[in-house]
């Protein structure tokens, strides 16, 4: 595996200090990226420049596609129900945009500069549940839904909590106890629900996009993200049954592999007998006072692509984040069990995290139930997705931040770190 492959590994699961060093000398992005409109993407009737469906999630196509996901892939509706929406109080803190922060590779930028330069589509900061900053770019607005990519994993890891607290799913059981079909999968047949949740399954799953034989390539085909291929027609769960084992014990190393999350989606559907989109609506979305129905990418058989396929407004993800910050209590009710969120924040396995390069930034951290928990002095924890999707929570200063972006390259480590540094600095500044 080449250095660049390691560095551009999907979802920032890069390995080793090299990735820091190699970028230290790079200049910060110095030009403001063009909007989809400025590039003429999907402008005209019929449009002259259409989206290359094989590359919709890469630049420049993703500048348009991430805001138009229901035109790109099949999506199920996650209903907000019929209740009134929860209203945000606005309490602008103008100084945030001029806040200077130092990126992890020692560049100094203001928040405003970074937002303009770093392919931002939207950005919102909540302090104590109030909106202190809200910005939109690239044709986006508060009404626009945007793809979450792997922030979807953290959403999934939270919403499964109700089933686990209710005893409908036990983390200690094997996944085959709920999904007998996974007996066919060498990778998953001995894995427990907890190992799936924490991505410590010892499965053969490369997220190296540069390798056409990498499992991630066929995985994306299976999700219908690459069109109606024969793999897509067999569906996501047929693919899951093919996953192979590597020579390591389950449970020992945090090995980021998106297919784990899709197994969680399958577990939820099996445990409830409901479609994931209906479960999510009943258990969370109809209680949150969400402004809008969310969408969820589904494969060609209707199975949920929970590893990366949620689509929602910036404010609705902020509502979700605020609910998590508040220990699962929001809009006058307990939505996700408090114990589940405490477990996420407290009970991870640092030993499994140590071999990853995350430990160079957050040595005491861990990955628990699909959340990155930094164990920094603020107790910050977060979700992150390729191309710059972020949900950052600082429980010390009571800050929730959402950033939706359309970085041109999937796992752009430099851009990702730059956004982490910005969000951390903003959260710390709002004492």
Q: Hey, which residues are catalytic here?
A: 150
Q: Is 230 in the site for a copy of itself (CB under 8 A)?
A: no
Q: Judged by CB, which is closer to a copy of itself: 87, or 247?
A: 87
**CA–CA dist 216, 157 (Å, integer):** 20
**Binding region for a copy of itself (CB under 8 A) out of 148-156, 182-190, 269-277, 368-376:** 269-277
Q: Is-contact 138 98, C-beta < 8 A?
A: no
Nearest to a copy of itself of 70, 90 (CB atom): 70
Task: Determine if 131 is a binding residue for a copy of itself (CB under 8 A).
Answer: no
Does 76 engage in binding with a copy of itself (CB under 8 A)?
yes
DSSP state, 89?
Answer: P
Q: How far is the CB of 136 from a copy of itself (least distance, A)?
A: 12
Answer whether the bond into residue 46 is a cis peptide, omega within 30°.
yes
Q: State both tokens at 231.
A: 């793999």
Q: Does residue 77 bind a copy of itself (CB under 8 A)?
A: yes
Q: How far apart are CA 323 and CA 294, in angstroms?
A: 16
**Of 147, 178, 411, which Cα lies nearest the Cα of 294?**
147
* Helix (H/G/I), strand (E/B), else coil: 130: strand
Residues constituting the chain? 431
**CB of 399 closer than 8 Å to CB of 322:** no
**Closest CB 77 distance from a copy of itself, rounded Å:** 6
- Look-up: residue for tokens 């053969």? 204
As a 3-state breakdown, the chain gives helix, strand, coil percent values, each rounded to 5, of 35, 20, 45
262 counts as binding a copy of itself under rule CB under 8 A: no
Q: How far apart are CA 221 and CA 213, in angstroms?
A: 12
Of 6, 12, 42, 182, which lies in the binding site for a copy of itself, with binding defined by CB under 8 A?
42
Name the minimum Å distance from CB 44 to a copy of itself: 8
Q: According to the binding rule CB under 8 A, does residue 314 interact with a copy of itself?
A: no
Q: Count interface residues toward a copy of itself (CB under 8 A).
A: 37
Stretch that binds a copy of itself, among 27-35, 44-52, 200-208, 248-256 (CB under 8 A): 44-52
CB 295 within 8 A of CB 145: yes
Q: Which contacts of 103-106 are long-range, i.e. CB under 8 A and separated by 24 or more positions?
A: 103/28, 103/417, 103/418, 103/421, 103/422, 104/20, 104/361, 104/417, 104/418, 104/420, 104/421, 105/20, 105/23, 105/24, 105/26, 105/414, 105/417, 106/24
| Cα dist from 25 to 19, 28, 32, 105, 360, whole Å | 12, 9, 20, 8, 19
Nearer to a copy of itself, 311 or 421 (CB): 311
266 binds a copy of itself (CB under 8 A): yes
Contact indicator for 395, 373 with CB cutoff of 8 Å: no
Query: Does 81 help bind a copy of itself (rule: CB under 8 A)?
Result: yes
Name which of 39 and 117 has its Cβ closer to a copy of itself.
Answer: 39
283 forms part of the interface with a copy of itself (CB under 8 A):
no
**Residue 87 interacting with a copy of itself (CB under 8 A):** no
Q: How far apart are CA 363 and CA 243, in angstroms?
A: 31
Residue 208 lies near a copy of itself (rule: CB under 8 A): no
Q: Which of 7, 12, 72, 243 binds a copy of itself (CB under 8 A)?
A: 72
Residue from the set 10, 58, 80, 375 that interacts with a copy of itself by CB under 8 A: 80
Give yes or no for residue 45 binding a copy of itself (CB under 8 A): yes
42 or 191: whose CB is closer to a copy of itself? 42
- Of 68 and 189, nearer to a copy of itself (C-beta) is 68
Rule CB under 8 A: is residue 112 a binding residue for a copy of itself? Answer: no
Positions that interact with a copy of itself (CB under 8 A)? 42, 45-47, 50-51, 68, 70-72, 74-77, 79-82, 142-145, 227-228, 235, 237, 266, 269-270, 275, 292-293, 295, 298, 301-303
């Amino acid at each position: 595996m080449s250095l660049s492959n390691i560095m551009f590994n999907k979802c920032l699961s890069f390995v080793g200090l090299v990735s820091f060093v190699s970028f230290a000398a790079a200049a910060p992005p110095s030009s403001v990226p063009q909007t989809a409109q400025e590039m003429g993407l999907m402008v005209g009737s019929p449009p002259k420049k259409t989206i290359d469906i094989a590359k919709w999630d890469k630049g420049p196509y993703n500048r348009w596609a991430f805001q138009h996901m229901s035109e790109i892939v099949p999506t199920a509706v996650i209903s907000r129900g019929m209740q009134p929406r929860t209203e945000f109080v606005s309490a602008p803190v103008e100084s945030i945009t001029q806040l200077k922060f130092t990126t992890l590779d020692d560049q100094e930028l203001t928040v405003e500069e970074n937002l303009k330069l770093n392919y931002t589509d939207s950005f919102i900061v909540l302090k104590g549940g109030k909106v202190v900053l809200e910005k939109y770019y690239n044709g986006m607005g508060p009404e626009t839904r945007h793809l979450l990519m792997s922030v979807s994993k953290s959403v999934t890891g939270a919403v499964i909590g109700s089933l686990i607290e209710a005893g409908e799913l036990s983390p200690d059981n094997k996944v085959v106890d709920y999904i007998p079909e996974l007996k066919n999968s060498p990778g998953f047949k001995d894995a427990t629900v907890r190992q799936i949740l924490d991505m410590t399954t010892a499965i053969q799953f490369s997220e190296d996009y540069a390798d056409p034989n990498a499992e991630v390539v066929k995985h994306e085909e299976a999700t219908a993200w690459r069109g109606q291929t024969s793999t897509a027609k067999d569906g996501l769960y047929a693919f899951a049954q093919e996953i192979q084992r590597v020579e390591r014990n389950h449970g020992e190393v945090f090995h980021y592999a998106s297919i784990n999350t899709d197994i969680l989606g399958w577990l939820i559907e099996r445990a409830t007998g409901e479609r994931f989109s209906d479960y999510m609506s009943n258990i969370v979305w109809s209680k949150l006072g969400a402004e809008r129905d969310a969408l969820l990418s589904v494969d060609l058989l209707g199975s949920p692509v929970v590893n990366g396929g949620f689509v929602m407004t910036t404010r609705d993800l902020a509502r979700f984040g605020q609910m998590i910050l508040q220990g699962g209590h929001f809009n006058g009710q307990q939505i996700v069990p408090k114990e589940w969120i405490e477990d996420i924040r407290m009970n991870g396995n640092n030993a499994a995290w140590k071999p990853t390069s995350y430990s160079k930034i957050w040595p005491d951290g861990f990955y628990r139930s699909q959340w990155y928990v930094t164990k920094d002095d603020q107790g910050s924890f977060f979700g992150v997705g390729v191309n710059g999707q972020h949900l950052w929570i600082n429980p010390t200063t009571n800050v929730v931040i959402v950033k939706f972006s359309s970085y041109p390259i999937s796992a752009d480590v430099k851009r990702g770190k730059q956004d982490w540094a910005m969000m951390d600095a903003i959260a710390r500044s709002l004492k």
